[in-house]
Structure 1
Amino acid sequence: MSAPLTPFLGVREAASRLTGGAADYERLLEMARDKRYALLGEATHGTREFYQTRADITRQLIVQGGFDAIAIEGDWPDVWRINRYVQGEGADTSAEALGDFHRFPEWMWRNQEVLDFITWLRDHNSALAASERVGVYGLDLYSLYRSAEAVIEYLQKADPDQAAVARMHYAALDHVREPMTYGYEAAAGLRLPAQREVIEQLQQLRASEARLIEQDGIAAIDSHFFAEQNAIVVVNAEAYYRESFGHRVNTWNLRDAHMAQTLLSVAAYRQRRGGHGRVVVWAHNSHVGDARATESVRRREWNLGQLVREKVGAAALLVGFTTYTGYVCAASEWGGEPERKWVRPARPDSWEHLFHSTGLDRFFLPLGDTASDAFHEPLLERAIGVLYLPKTEFASHYFDAAIGAQFDALIHLNETSAIEPMSTALLA
């Protein structure tokens, strides 16, 4: 089945071709002018042009649009090392700032495109006062044990007595050092779950905030915020891993609710330290687009884009990215080695094929209120995460989506290439 004619004509009428020039994203920047959150997606976790394009847009949102934070689909403590680097803090001088990304899939953030962007951002920040420097933060919740350690390390310096209490609270996790093992044993009744203890530790940390921040200095605010967010990660990660085996709660919903909570907390924190609190997000389309416009709604799944829209309404800008064919960096199994894989041309009944058929190659397409009604009818959309399984592509990577309701705007790059994972030796 071919894509319908009406949205084809709508794309031809509304799209702006991307030429590589300075004016490519003028329309996007205008759409973002009054927004608090600009969520920039990706159809895969391993496409070079998605990273490059998001970086180009983000530079302009920072320099021209007044955005002062970037939140990425990475773990909180891992990304904090990048944040310290771009602030001009710590001992890292270059690629080492990416050195804390050890969890599969490392290539998502350990690649040249990310390094080029954070190098630019460090240089940009060097001319600014501390309160004006742009920060980089992680949205994800997988770092259960690393985050617990970070809370204890912070308290050891700020309040040794409370650090001892934190050790007792987190001892309930039993330090098996493998979150999935903890989750299985807690769900199976082989150990007592640590839910109560980790919540108590978060509450205690929050209650002592005023005392631990002895002066209204940015360094003290930063350190406490880093610790508090790690404590939140421990609470939400404990629930996530426990429910992974409990079959009572949708863990996708737990994860995206954590992302939304973190994003809003980052914006408020940036304002407390004297900034604007306007945040650019880098995450997969499946998190950035509004889940209510996709088949996820039938599974009662929500996502970051939906939750942000529900919270702030028109103050959020959701931008999707698509590609028709090319190559991608992805694995064939969970925990597998990254491979350079050919991306099959998109199915004829997909949005990607429709965009390809326009002959525009690369373009920016505003949606939302200006979109034709045809963009609000479902077609297939492709999503490639850390795995790409061409033999089962239809079942593994396609879903129904009304793209005009899913996103406010879209960038289509017809043929794309794979990112190159960074050598571990460069990160030492």
Structure 2
Amino acid sequence: MNVLAVALADDTQRFIKGYAPKGARLFLRPNLEVMRIAALLRPGDRLRYLDERVESAEQPDHDLCLVHIGLGQRDRGRELLHNWTTGAGTPVFFGPQVTSWREAAPAWARPRVVGDITNIWPQLRADAESGRLRPVYVATEIPGYTSPRQVGVNFEMDSAGQTIQFARGCFCPEPVRRLCTEHLYYGRNRMMRSPEEIVGEVITLPGKRIQLLDDDVAAAPDYYQELFTRLRDHRRQWIVNASERLFEQPRLIRLLSKAGTKIVYLDESFLLGKLRRAADSHRLTHQLYRRVKSLQANKMLVGARLVMPLEPSTPPDYDRIATLLRQIDLDFIEPRFLRPDGSLAQVVYRPTITSAEPAWLKYRFYSMGTIADRMLRRPRRVGFFTTAVYLLPYSAAYRQNLLEELP
């Protein structure tokens, strides 16, 4: 079977012929759901993976055409279908945006997959081979795991990155749960993989650097302590996610460091509801700083994801918040902004930016002077290797995305 898998891109990052792809290569990683589909293909099958971030979409002339629609990409999906009306193939739509529609999907989104496409793949494949695709496929909400396999990745993308999941399901805090793909696919269902299965997969990964996609390693401290106790002897370098509960687990923090963790991304719970209070409270600011420093003292860089509502009538003091983020001494930030209806706003940098705009946070945080200051001070805490191999390239990548006007 010949399969065409198209991953749509946001308007700000869609590839334009004759120009280089937008965004830092470090973050131009293959679509994870497409790579999991690649792992389910049989010998003799061929996959054409097309990512709109690095190349233009082509007419579907394959046995099965799959179109991945991410959150906020509804209009692009409809536009692509209109451009393909003369094509021979019928696209099957899937992804978090498609699943979020549930029963209120637009009429043009057929056939479509509601839920995790890997859970419905055998049935979808059989129907495609028989030429009788159903209008709607509803996948089970029971989590499973398929190890991604990188096939047909464009050379412009970062194909060296390795990812893994120990647990499936959503562990995100409430304000951003509706935006989580795992929550859309599985609801409140969760699955913890066995340590033996995980260690076996880690051993087979060729590279040393691995990004753990689990939402929160502090959600089940005993489980992750057992895993990283086993994995520490395999000398891998990890990037992990955690919630504020991590600071209640000093043993887990030390174990993450000994296992080779280089970056810890704290989720929205770390700063949720605290930024405005910390702006008027030196004590709270110092508490946040001490928590960040406790991770850096264990040779780990610290990133923070934050979510803020857009309030045009009473906008916050973004310049004061930017100063506060520097005082906390974080290494990376990933801010997201929510409209009143709960959807994500596309906040991007402009050359004429002012301190009254939300993009000011990233502009201040990733300025050349601020990055240089962190580069000079950080080796004392995390070491020269982590500073040179992780802090420098990631800071440069975040700054490149900012200047190229990506959210």
Q: TM-score, normalised by structure 1?
A: 0.28
- Which structure carries more helix by proportion? 1
Q: TM-score, normalised by structure 2?
A: 0.29
